[in-house]
Amino acid sequence: MKKIIPILTAILLATLLSCNQRTVKKELVPEFRFEEYTIAQLQEGYANGDFTITDVVQAYLDRIQAIDDNGPMLNAIIETNPDALAIAAQLDLELKEGKKRGPMHGVPVLLKDNIDTHDQMATTAGSRALAGSHPLQDSYIAMKLREAGAVIIGKANLSEWANFRGNLSSSGWSGVGGQTKNPYVLDRNPCGSSSGSGVAVSANLTMIAIGTETNGSIVCPSTANGIVGIKPTVGLLSRSGIVPISFTQDTPGPMGRTVSDAATALGAMTGIDPADSKTAVSEGKYLTDYTPFLKEGGLKGKRLGWFTSARGTHFKVDTLMQHAVNYLRSQGAEVIEIDNIYDREVGSLSFQVMLYEFKDGLNKYFASLGENAPVKSVEELIEFNKNDSVELRYYDQELLIEAQKKGDLTSKEYIDALEKMNRLAREEGIDKVMKEHNLDAFIAPTGSPAWKTDLVNGDSYTVSSSSPAAVAGYPNITVPMGFVDGLPVGISFFGRAWSEPLLLEIAYSYEQGTKFRKAPQFIPKLPFEPAD
């Protein structure tokens, strides 16, 4: 009888979840013709004349209004692009004339609202201090997406200042956009800082979103929202025109529902940007098409290091990860357990580097806005927040204050911290461990299931594996790995600098063999939890 009861409980729970999902979807969420569509399906439809780019963009805009603004009110999007339909009409005309700009032609894309666009949309980083701020030119990433034919349909909400402002912050909250909700269970957190980007992709409010990451800000909202996220090698994609935290660690990256879609978007954004010196290092290393590496059977013969530092923290995540390891081994991969990648001092060194670079980068960004910049320095930003009725309501600005106290980038403390951090994280960290064990990549659970959003106590992180790749500036790809009580959890594949082709092959093979992605159903709360 002891074995039967848990089985019956599991069946009852699954039934409750299923019933709840169906009820919520029927009442709040209208049918959507392009739900779970891929870029390949979209391009096929355009080629066959099944629908136009204008049809698709209008459908996504309607979907945003129905779900993000009304319905479950996800609060994922700060602003939609008033020019989106005009752009779509122009792209339709080009297709009729036999012209296709590139692999993203007619693909709806959302940008995290710390990525500049020179159009009718503002770029705010979620801060009321930048409300109505209009950059003087497109970011390099926005320019590349437009050249490839993408339709930028709006700006996604985010953790304000990419979650580098103060203590007890709630991921997905910004002074401009409010609190973003997780589309699987609405009282759960979407993680961040690319919160709206992850939610919008998962909820089919866009086909692709572009997030940014300094440490975890692409991969965490990707795992929490059941999607694929690529955090590329720093320098593969330009950061010019992106509100910064760290010159050393920042990078934009694509977020999609499939590895194939994310890989397509990645290739469309690469290139050497004179305005970002980091991209010069990508010369001879970047590709404009990563899709040839999307091959099934790519796990056979691979040596993977299972980064086990978080094992024992969350037994439900441990169970999912063990299933993933068993699958990887069944496909011919060899998995070796690795309990440590680098010295613990790396974390504190990274924090010091970020404080220095945050002050320097923000001041340079404000200067890029010209004489009409709403604020012109970190010092002015701090004063603005003190006098604003919303900004400091839920959490403080201690990180801004600490950054303001730092000197410039010629400071010995900064130079020494940067050198030591890079050495410990790279040559004496990931590179050393991978060489010693002859590894192709590392694997680890990306995070834990989404916690309940709490504006009083802030975030409740338990499991995270983003730091090794983030601090080293190396690539990391997360893919759905399964569910815990209806909440998605992802697996990360990370490794050496410029190893995106190899990681994509591994991630794609895992994705195609498991296919854990399931669209969210906008459940108000888990049915077995007590009523409010």
Give 58-85 pLDDT, tens digit per residue: 999 999 999 999 999 999 999 999 999 9
- At position 368, the amino acid (one-letter code) is S
Placement of tokens 């919303």 in the chain:
390
Q: Which two tokens stand for residue 468?
A: 């090794």
247 pLDDT above the threshold of 50: yes
Q: Which of 193, 246, 464, 499 is the catalytic position? A: 193
What mean pLDDT is predicted for residues 403-430?
98
**Coil, strand or helix at 330:** helix
Task: Give the pLDDT confidence score for residue 8 in this predicted structure.
Answer: 33
Torsion angle defined by CA atoms of residues 184, 187, 190 and 195, in that order, rounded to the nearest 10 degrees: 110
Question: Are 350 and 249 a contacting pair, CB within 8 Å?
Answer: yes
Task: Give the pLDDT confidence score for residue 532 in this predicted structure.
Answer: 67
Class of domain 31-343+424-514: alpha beta
Q: Which of 25, 112, 278, 302 is the catalytic position? A: 112
368: annotated active-site residue: no
The distance in angstroms from the start CA to the end CA of the chain is 33
217: annotated active-site residue: yes
Torsion angle defined by CA atoms of residues 426, 427, 431 and 435, in that order, rounded to the nearest 10 degrees: -170
Task: Give the pLDDT confidence score for residue 29 in this predicted structure.
Answer: 85
Q: Which of 171, 174, 217, 282 is the catalytic position? A: 217
Placement of tokens 């010069």 in the chain:
280
489 pLDDT above the threshold of 70: yes
26 pLDDT above the threshold of 60: no
193: annotated active-site residue: yes
122 pLDDT above the threshold of 90: yes
Question: Are 76 and 156 a contacting pair, CB within 8 Å?
Answer: yes
